[in-house]
Structure 1
Amino acid sequence: MDRLVKPDVTEVELTFRRGQRCAATFRVTNLMHTMSVAVSLSTASPSLFSFSQPYSIIPPLSSASYTLFLAPSDRPALSSPPDSITVRSSMLPTGKAHQDDLRRLFSRPGPHVFKDATMPIALVGLQVIEFLIRQKTQIRETDSLLKKAIPGCDKTQLTRLLNYAISCGDAGIVASLIDGGADVNDVYPDGTSLISLAVEAGNLEILKILIASGASVNNKNEHADRILHKAAAMDRVDLMEVLFKAFKDVIDPNEPNADGRTPLHVAAANGFVDAVRFCVEAGADADATDSAGSTPLHLAAAAGNAEAVEYLVEHSTYARHAVDGDGKTAFGIAAENGHSRLLDSLRLRDVLLRAARVDDVHGMKSCLAEGADVDARDQNGWTPLHRAAFKGRVESVKLLLSHGASVNAADDAGYTPLQCAVEAGHAHLAMLLIAHGARASPKDVDPLGSGAAKHRLDRPCFLYPLRREKGRA
């Protein structure tokens, strides 16, 4: 005979609850037809595990229930290999014996004692998995322990654990929980999806696992994930590339956050050049303004990142000239914050235009000597010559003309420096400009490569009414 009794399970699952006495019940059946059997139950860790009946008697062909208890603990008693229950038996012809008699019976080794079964103890449940997530690097055989623990959790518990595993950055456990039935499209009350959680954790592997498992993003306006914003804030172009590829029909590179900032604003504010490049290449508007009126260039200038500033200058149309809510240009912000190394990227055009307006001849000479474009334009298409002519700055006009300024350059509305001088009442400047080739009729103005003027004028420029300088004090 191989054995006298048989347990009804090959493994005992015990749901662990922190700080509580935990229990699991199983049954053992006497296989003998005519004789009672004495049974002994034991584990290798008697200080942790105990039984409702460590010694008992089972009548012929009968079964008995036993309860395994785990002492209260703040952490599950996990070991590799796991602890197990040893079931021993001995024939008991009389069918009767006291507990002390049974204890003595099994304390003596010999052929009268049979080792009928060894049942591993599997600790299962939510708190076991939580512990494994926290202590994975310190526990061997985590994967096998996890596989045993997962069946003890329902879908809600597995989803809760999935959130925790993502935050902890454990890709292996994330995959196991998803395989076990966790909901990959769970959404937090604040609208945060698991995709967003993976981005916050900065874990590319987890992000790919979630996408492959069918996870989606929350793009509702009031609770949008802002996943590109989060990735941009970390300069994680690798995350941004995966997100844009997987959700390009859902996410918008120009989507504003609560402050009106796009992902490009976020990248620029942190001086993250790679993220700035990705956003622009993905279609972000480099001239977009946030709720404070700041362009990405304003924010890059404030951050003091020269490479980001240079890239944005090159890829924006109006940002160099735009003023924020405080009336400051990107140049002004850079200067105010002491980022002198940025001034070469921002200053020459702005400084030259300003110097022409205030008749700062020395400043203009410095800018031109450093390579400033004598025909640099502002957001309205005005060149330094337009400004100097409108303000009546004779010396500035002479200097600009001597450096080859285009005397017939037309602004966005078709006005030339000559028209500006005449309308402002500076007859002496008008004559100076004519002497240098300025044409009286706006029909023949040179758009200077900026595209044809928006409208052509049929009357001589001397007949036009005085207009205010657009956007100028």
Structure 2
Amino acid sequence: MPLKGASETGKKLLLLLDRRDWKQDVDYILKVINFRPDLKVQDKGGNTGFHLAAQWSDSQPFVEALLSAGADPNARNKDDETPLHKAVQGREKGGIVSALLLGGADPNLADRCGSPPLHYVRPDDCETIKLLLEGGADVQARNHAGQDWLFMTTVTGFHVDEENWLRPIMDAGCHVSTVDYQGRTLLHELFTQDTLPKERIQYLLDAGVDPRQRDYQGNTILHEIVSSDLYNMGGHGNERLLRARYASDLGLNVDTPNNKRRTPLHIQSGMGHPEGSGVSDATCLRWMLNKSKDTNARDCEGATPLHLASLVSQSSVYELLKAGVDALIPTYEGLTALHLAACARQSSIIGMLIEHFQKQPGIDRGTWLDVQDDQGWTPLHYACRSGRPESVKLLLDAGAKLAMPAFDRQPDLGAPGPSGRNPFQVCADFEDEQKLWATSGYQRALETDVRDIEPTRFYAAGTKIAGGDRPFDATSRKCTWKTGFGEHDSTRLEEIIDVMASHSLQTSDWHSRAGGDIARIQINAHKNDHQYTLSCAFNALERSNKLLTTRQEWLEAEVRKPLKHRDYALSVAIESKQAGDQDIDLFVKSLKERHYHLAQKYVELFPNGFHVATKEGGNGKSTLHLLATHGFDRLLQSAGRTTAEHEFKHGRWCSAKNQSKPGLGHCNIPLEPTLEPLLYTACKRHLPNMEVIKVLVEDLDVDVNGKTWRIEEDGSSDQETRGGYTALHHLALGTHWWHVAQATRYLVVDAGADLEAQNAMGETPLLCAARSKQVFRSELVRLLLDLGADVDAVDKAEESFMSLVAGDKKLADMLVSGDATTPGMTVANRRGASSEVPGDGENVSEEVEDVDLDLFGEP
């Protein structure tokens, strides 16, 4: 047959063999095969006709015909699978496997995972196992992860008779003591499966597998459980706790260290939380803290569980502090939890630690706030270098010093090394720090997993002064509404330099040096070609009206030249846009590259952007939403005013307080149903966002009781009939520290938010708090009651506050405790909360007894 005709016939064969109803055309398919098609033709997955024929049961005639026609039995697809790999998967395919082996198929060829066909055979498929072994299959062959046939069979989770599945594999030469290339046993792997196979685990225990055996890194099964991605696996929010308890019953100890001296408690404390605040992990951590006899254990770098938690998790820090861990312990290089939180850009955790120390009388501020590590840096140094304005403001408000006597020297301008520099001067390192977050080897390792499983959620990293790793922060790296803009793109220096300079002018022993420190930032930035930092320093000097020295004048003339070209291309691109030709990508780019004056210019050129994004048919988002989401209070203030004046001029938006004035509080036109109020958007941030909230309330006059929209099944678009959540409803969930410590009281007391506003389900903020499972929920309940929330309110399901908290011993105890002195708490106390709480074992299901009682702090 001509070459072209053979190719076309080969393609037709692929189509025929890929159909599930191929049995209707058996004779026709055999005729096509006998017509001598091109048997090397492949589909998109690299499969030949031989691969497709081998995957079906009862396709032995096709396999034999293809062999007779000269098809290659060892052909590989894009996953390096051979027809034999396809044939062994399924039932009643012994005839196909036999034909392939007789036709020359190699039973030891591995796919892209390194697994030969034997690894994919069901353990109860005795016929196929026998054929492969007789055909020369190597029972000791291992895949790229070092897993042999027994390991793979154990992992795949086939539902077979636990009494019989192991025998043929053992008879073939495998042993239950097998380990993979990391030294992990079969039990290490089984304890991380989606569904915990207790019968299989017990069978292996009876067969002699030691549950206390460690892998080559010294990790026990308990280490494996807490480090694996088991979030809500098994249909239960406390799956990690259930498995940890099971391992504990087998003799595993939460205080057993691995080769890095890290205990399971260390690992659990360093777990990150892709969504929410890690409620289920907090439950497991609470149990482990009750079990542990050394909650301040130090790893090989001197890091305690609190050090690791301070890098990644508000909920873990909360539980550790509540358990009484020592927050003053430094690493072997003098780094405290506050140092690490500042370095990790964890502003909320900084706030938690400050609050913790301030509640402990008698602790000298120098032992925690101004404490220096081995290079003389305080937490404020790391906060300034991090580029997180929220962190710097929290530390300064707590009283952090700008100069440290022991290290406050006067090095030559531009002297290398960190020693001798005060916190202000280390702002010059911001761009180097930013690169570490983008290029950290730890983050790259998380993004690629050689075993093709879900990556671990142990996100903590960077507990050494000179280390180049930074934590994997899933929440901050999460990009916003398809713009590619994440929280780490919002780090910046402008506010930091300004607040440091302003603070220094109020400090009698340091104010005369502010201009000199900015000059040092300029020189170091120029030396390292950090143009953004250099620009910030020049702008700060101009704003502060400092007199320039001759050397500074020369420096300005020299380095201003390249700065003029830094944003030229982007500026031209923005200015070239015409009205109605908006490009949100240009606005995002100006923010990512930190050309904030160009972002403002964009808003001035397109002041109707808010209207375009929020009108019917829009996407419900706007440039202002992006600014509110990521804490750009200054830009939001200026851009918001520009937008508000434009919208007011066109009769669309006005102030919520006074409809005769510009503002973004009340809209006179139909809106896109997906629109979120700006205030609600601002409250969803995991980092403190009070400056943005104050701009929205005090400058842009938003409606503090503005509600989100919820589309009904009838498609109605009447906001009044549908209702929704106010910003206070969201804060009441208690997801983040600043919701309790800063935002809720401000919205209620200062902004006048309605404590009794109801969402579409009739819930008030207090009812939302009562239903919440978030970490700071108890504190929010206490705060709302303190502010006067109505405990008699009921939702549309006739649920009241007291009925919702009746089964919560922790909240009930709080309500009837001596602290219950506020009006709301007094009323709750009179309702008899404690009498509604079931006693231990009373009206509690077996599952809840096993898990949820730990929520009440019981060991």
Higher helix share: 2
Structure ID, larger Rg: 1
Q: Which structure's residues are more often strand, by fraction?
A: 1
TM-score, L = length of structure 1: 0.44
Task: Give the TM-score, by structure 2 length.
Answer: 0.26
